[in-house]
Structure 1
Amino acid sequence: MKYYHVDVFSKTPMSGNGLTVVLLDEPLPDQDLLSITKEFNQFESIFLYPMENGMFQARIFTVQEELPFAGHPILGAGAVIHKLFYADNSTIDIPFSLAERNILIHSEKAEQHFKVKMNQGAAAFVSTIGSAEHCRIAGALSLSLDDIDKDYPIETVSTGLPYLLVPVNKNIEKCRISCSDFELFLSGYGAKFVYVFDTSTLQCRTWDNGGAVEDIATGSAADPLCAYLVKNGRAAQGDIITLHQGSYVGRPSVIKGCVDSRNEVIIMGDVAFFATGTISI
């Protein structure tokens, strides 16, 4: 099996969010896919099956579990497919099929990298969290109530994965998960993960729910945040919103997104190629 290591949300290798894209020769058991993901030890790996019914079948794994959707794996896989199968095309639309949805991405070849974007559809606004819960949420993130920006709501929003969006106006650098069962904690708000953002700089942070690994750049969280900012009057439809992530783990990344006239969220990112190889199992 061939694999490609790409860096997403960056124009140059060894920055942005690393990703392993594995081209499967044949289906493998779920445990093997999880074990391969653990071996590469990226935040996520994506496995691509041969095209079927005009679509590339894909599965996405973290080192802990399979995800129904994630943003940067789809963008990175789109660049790999463009380079491998459509090298003569300067631009190409590529359809993906995941377990629960189909996604069409658009890839454009640049000089040394690829520019990839995808339409995430309309965001689902799951819930707005009442102020009585804000102190509890702040505490679970090693923050104080004063760190929460009271001019912004705390909301759970989803474009495939539901994120609890937590606005702060200071001390984002001190933010850490300090809740013993954070996944259960988040489920009480209808969320799978948390996304903390500084309202003045749009610097963002998220982690695995154990708090052990901070993600470098998170497309599936950037989409809900872009929709949230437009919904709450902090950006307008059509505005390009620039989010920053990864600075606290030494991999600064830039994620761009917008909400179009149909209220659908578009996420955009650069993809750079770092390495390729063969899996020998």
Structure 2
Amino acid sequence: MDVLRYVAFATDPAGGNPAGVVLDATGADDATMLATAAEVGYSETAFVVPSDDGTLTVRYFSPLAEVPFCGHATIATAVAHADRHGTGPLSLRTNVGTVAVTTAVADDGTTVATLVSVAPRTEPLAGPDLAELLSALRWSADELDPALPPRAAYAGAWHPVIAAADRGRLADLDYDMPALTALMARRGWTTVDLVWRESPTVFHARNAFPPGGVVEDPATGAAAAAFGGYLRELELIATPVTLTIRQGEDMGRPSTITVSVPTDLASGIAVTGTAVPI
């Protein structure tokens, strides 16, 4: 297989989130895709099987397991496809449903992709789950932002949303990896979305990702989509609105994710970002 390597949500290969992209994985079985993702070593690699009707079937693998959906690898896949076949609309068949993606060339010459997630939703975080999660994170309840309550959010994958009251708490990421890995495996969570609100439309995020075999993800498009749905469902923002999520800064891999949240609760969340080859 021809594995391409792209960085998503940045214009500099030294920033953003790296993803592997295989634009034609026809005939590859699960074991081969998992082994390839492990060899690539990025948090996710996307494997595409083109079809005669123009749709693309896409599966996502971390170095340890298949994940249901991955935002940054979707952005990377769309840009890699545009670099070879031209910009325009794409229809991706994923394990969580059909995801529409469009690509275009920006004024600075970079290719930009926008995905629209499946319909988002949230669920309460049960008291014992929240207590266990905070313990694994080594956070205390009084360090949380009461204006952004803990919740499990979904837009293709599940992510607990935990909001810090100040930027310093977000900057100090030192969690119990075995304990968090076990909890996330039991609950089917993909990453833990740790956020801090800088302004009404600007947020900083860090995403713990032990199920993928990495401590932290530098840009998490699926979590950004889920977070947009969380804010809308809990009426924590006025919609329609465009949000900016800054991620990866504490890792030295700055990333910028643009999230567009429509008013209709049944509508998916749009996530936009650039991607460039490594």
TM-score of the pair, normalised by structure 2: 0.88
In structure 1, C-alpha distance between the alignment counterparts of 2:70 and 2:184, rounded to whole Å: 18
Structure 2 residue ranges without an equivalent (≥5): none
Q: 2:257 aligns with which of 249, 255, 258?
A: 255
Distance change >3 Å, CA 182–CA 134, structure 1 → 2: closer
Distance change >3 Å, CA 142–CA 181, structure 1 → 2: closer
Does the 8 A contact of 2:193 with 2:223 survive in 1?
yes
Structure with greater helix share of residues: 2
How many angstroms does 1:4 deviate by? Answer: 1.9
How many angstroms does 1:184 deviate by? Answer: 4.0
Paired position in structure 2 for 1:120:
117
1:74 partner amino acid: T
1:88-111 CA-to-partner distances (Å, cap 9, x unmatched) read: xxx410111123411110101124
Matched, 1:150 2:146: yes
Does the 8 A contact of 1:103 with 1:120 survive in 2?
yes
1:51-80 CA-to-partner distances (Å, cap 9, x unmatched) read: 343211211100010112111111111111
Structure 1 residue ranges without an equivalent (≥5): 275-281
Distance change >3 Å, CA 27–CA 130, structure 1 → 2: closer
1:224 partner amino acid: A
TM-score of the pair, normalised by structure 1: 0.87
Distance change >3 Å, CA 187–CA 128, structure 1 → 2: farther
The Cα RMSD (Å) is: 2.2
In structure 1, C-alpha distance between the alignment counterparts of 2:243 and 2:140, rounded to whole Å: 28
Matched, 1:27 2:27: yes
Matched, 1:10 2:10: yes
Deviating more after overlay: 231-240 vs 7-16: 231-240
1:108 partner amino acid: A
In structure 2, C-alpha distance between the alignment counterparts of 1:132 and 1:98, rounded to whole Å: 32
Q: 1:270 aligns with which of 258, 263, 274?
A: 274
3-state SS, counterpart of residue 175 of structure 1: coil
Question: Superposed, which structure 2 residues align to 1:1-281 within 5 Å?
Answer: 1-24=1-24, 26-86=26-86, 91-110=87-106, 111-125=108-122, 127-129=123-125, 134-170=130-166, 171-178=169-176, 180-186=178-184, 191-200=189-198, 202-209=203-210, 212-263=214-265, 264=267, 265-274=269-278
* Percent sequence identity over aligned pairs: 21
Does the 8 A contact of 2:114 with 2:270 survive in 1?
yes
Please tell me whether Structure 1 or Structure 2 has the larger radius of gyration of its CA atoms: 1
